[in-house]
């Protein structure tokens, strides 16, 4: 997704695919329709129609959605030769219909980027969350499920009052109930239908018992549940 104005002076001369990095794609060095090669990127999560990948140093602007390849696992290291970079409804992605995607090794899934809910979902949301689009992250705040939405989505309210939008690409939303409490949540920060949302991993939500005796209910008492 490109919502940050980036001033770059460069001359790009290439025949066919261009050796690229995810960082350069996500920060505007390449134009839509460019054919790019990504080498040695690590699969961070898998969906039925593609994978999310990341590259070292596994920080901001180092993740992207790759549409098409199947049969890979989180932790696989792959090369993508001849992928097409596009913006699909403002989501940066690599199309692989005419590309070669090769498994070149296996390793550990990189550690998620640790963030607070307000880092991503507080105003101005787009500017705050953009660097982490398609990255593997952990929202470290304690949260309480506040609203069940349609299409497998729900909202959990962080203890600082920041609403976090979740979606069920990877997580079983049928297990989500109102007033459920989370210690934290790990997943891919996705962008679709005009919103950033957390695609929590299958085992990415740390549930906690949020029962507090009525005569002990204080804000500090509730916060203590999430430590």
Q: Is residue 30 located within the same domain as residue 100?
A: yes
Residue 7 lies in a domain: no
Q: What is the pLDDT of residue 19?
A: 87
Of the candidates 118, 26, 111, 32, which has an alpha carbon nearest to the alpha carbon of residue 63? 26
Instruction: Show which of 49, 75, 106 is a domain's final residue.
Output: 106
Residue 4 lies in a domain: no
Instruction: Show which of 84, 106, 128 is a domain's final residue.
Output: 106
Beta bridge partners of 203: none
Could you give the CA distance from residue 156 to residue 23 in angstroms, rounded to a whole number?
A: 30
Q: What is the pLDDT of residue 121?
A: 86
Residue 193 lies in a domain: yes
Q: How many independent structural domains does the chain possess?
A: 2
Residue 2 lies in a domain: no
| Domain coverage including residue 219 | 113-224
What pTM value is reported for the model? 0.86
Give alpha helix (H) positions in 10-168. Answer: 22-26, 117-121, 125-129
Q: Is residue 209 located within the same domain as residue 155?
A: yes
pLDDT band at 213, cuts 50/70/90? very low
Of the candidates 68, 33, 62, which has an alpha carbon nearest to the alpha carbon of residue 134? 62
Is the pLDDT score of 212 beyond 60?
no
Beta bridge partners of 18: 36
Residue 12 lies in a domain: no
Could you give the CA distance from residue 77 to residue 56 in angstroms, rounded to a whole number?
A: 12
Q: Is residue 129 located within the same domain as residue 66?
A: no
The residue written with tokens 């740390």 in the block is: 206
Q: What is the pLDDT of residue 10?
A: 34
Beta bridge partners of 145: 156
Exposed/middle/buried for residue 19 (C-beta within 10 Å: 0-12, 13-18, 19+): exposed
Instruction: Show which of 106, 123, 139 is a domain's final residue.
Output: 106
Q: Is residue 137 located within the same domain as residue 220?
A: yes
Residue 49 lies in a domain: yes
Q: What is the pLDDT of residue 7?
A: 32
Q: Is residue 50 located within the same domain as residue 66?
A: yes
Q: Tell whether the torsion through CA atoms of 10, 15, 18 and 19 is positive or negative.
A: negative
Tell me the pLDDT tens digit for each residue of 113-123.
999 999 998 76
Is the pLDDT score of 111 beyond 70?
yes
pLDDT band at 15, cuts 50/70/90? very low
Is the pLDDT score of 56 beyond 50?
yes
Q: Is residue 125 located within the same domain as residue 212?
A: yes
Q: Is residue 218 located within the same domain as residue 128?
A: yes
Q: Is residue 136 located within the same domain as residue 183?
A: yes
Of the candidates 69, 85, 82, which has an alpha carbon nearest to the alpha carbon of residue 37? 82
Mean pLDDT of the chain: 88
Question: For the domain that residue 152 is a member of, what is the CATH number?
Answer: 2.40.50
* Beta carbons of 133 and 196 less than 8 angstroms apart: yes
């Amino acid at each position: 997704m490109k919502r940050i104005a980036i001033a770059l002076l460069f001359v790009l001369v290439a025949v066919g695919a261009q050796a690229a990095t995810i960082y350069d794609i996500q920060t505007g060095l390449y134009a839509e329709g460019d054919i790019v090669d990504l080498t040695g990127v690590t699969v961070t999560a898998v969906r039925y129609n593609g994978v999310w990948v990341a590259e070292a140093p596994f920080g901001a602007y180092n993740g992207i959605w790759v549409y098409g390849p199947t049969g890979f696992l989180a932790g696989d290291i792959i090369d993508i030769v001849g992928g097409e970079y596009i913006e699909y409804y403002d989501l940066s992605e690599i199309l692989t219909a005419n590309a070669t995607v090769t498994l070149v090794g296996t390793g550990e899934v990189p550690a998620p980027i640790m963030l607070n809910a307000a880092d991503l979902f507080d105003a101005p949301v787009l500017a705050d969350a953009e660097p982490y689009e398609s990255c593997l992250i952990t929202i470290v705040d304690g949260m309480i499920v506040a609203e069940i939405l349609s299409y497998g989505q729900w909202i959990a309210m962080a203890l600082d009052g920041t609403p976090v939008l979740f979606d069920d690409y990877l997580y079983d939303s049928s297990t989500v109930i109102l007033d459920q409490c989370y210690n934290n949540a790990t997943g891919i920060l996705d962008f679709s239908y005009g919103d950033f949302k957390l695609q929590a991993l299958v085992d990415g939500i740390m549930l906690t018992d949020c029962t507090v005796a009525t005569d002990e209910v204080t804000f500090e008492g509730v916060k203590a549940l999430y430590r």
